[in-house]
């Protein structure tokens, strides 16, 4: 999998473009900074606006993968911080990925391009929705916690 680190935008530009009030530290998506993310999608799930926000926040977003084998390859390369899984993937892949990611202790969430009755986080490019997803994966910035 070819990974690319996009140019990180200034915090103020990210916040201004998103139309949100700037937090004390200047970044609403700081949980994504420096994180290597794998996106698993059957069809286009991650909007270009969402991908841009992630990259602007400093995330390293790899190309979309579609199979359990490709996820295993990414995990074997190392450094994967989290996985975002399209809720539309087939049930067999979904169950396999869940088991693999839990065993590897890699945080993951289920997501979709738009809000649906099936649940999951919305990856439509809305900063508030992306922040919820980032907080679910990496915890709320500034709050330390221990998982048991």
Per residue in 12-32, pLDDT tens? Answer: 344 444 444 434 333 668 889
Asked if 100 contacts 71 with a C-beta cutoff of 8 angstroms, the reply is: yes
What is the rounded distance in angstroms from the CA atom of residue 86 to the CA atom of residue 88? Answer: 5
CA of residue 52 relative to chain centroid, distance = 12
CB neighbours of 76 closer than 8 A, spacing ≥ 6? none
pLDDT at 83: 95
pLDDT at 122: 86
List, for residues 73-126, the tens digit of each pLDDT value: 999 999 999 999 998 889 999 999 999 999 999 999 999 887 766 668 888 888
Computed over every residue of the chain, the mean pLDDT equals 78
List, for residues 105-120, the tens digit of each pLDDT value: 999 999 988 776 666 8
Spatial strand order in the sheet of 60-61: 60-61, 36-40, 82-86, 108-112, 121-122
Task: Say whether pTM exceeds 0.85.
Answer: no
Closest CA to 86 of 55, 59, 121: 121
């Amino acid at each position: 999998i070819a990974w690319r680190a996009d140019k990180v935008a200034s915090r103020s530009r990210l916040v201004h473009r998103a139309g949100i009030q700037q937090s004390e530290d200047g970044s609403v998506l700081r949980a994504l900074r420096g994180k290597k993310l794998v996106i698993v999608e059957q069809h286009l799930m991650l909007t270009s606006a969402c991908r841009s926000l992630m990259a602007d926040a400093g995330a390293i977003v790899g190309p979309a993968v579609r199979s359990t084998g490709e996820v295993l390859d990414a995990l074997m390369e190392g450094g994967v911080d989290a996985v975002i899984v399209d809720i539309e993937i087939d049930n067999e892949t979904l169950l396999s990925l869940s088991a693999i990611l839990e065993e590897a202790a890699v945080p993951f969430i289920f997501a979709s391009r738009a809000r649906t009755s099936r649940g999951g986080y919305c990856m439509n490019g809305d900063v508030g929705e992306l922040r919820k997803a980032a907080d679910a994966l990496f915890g709320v910035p500034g709050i330390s916690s221990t998982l048991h």
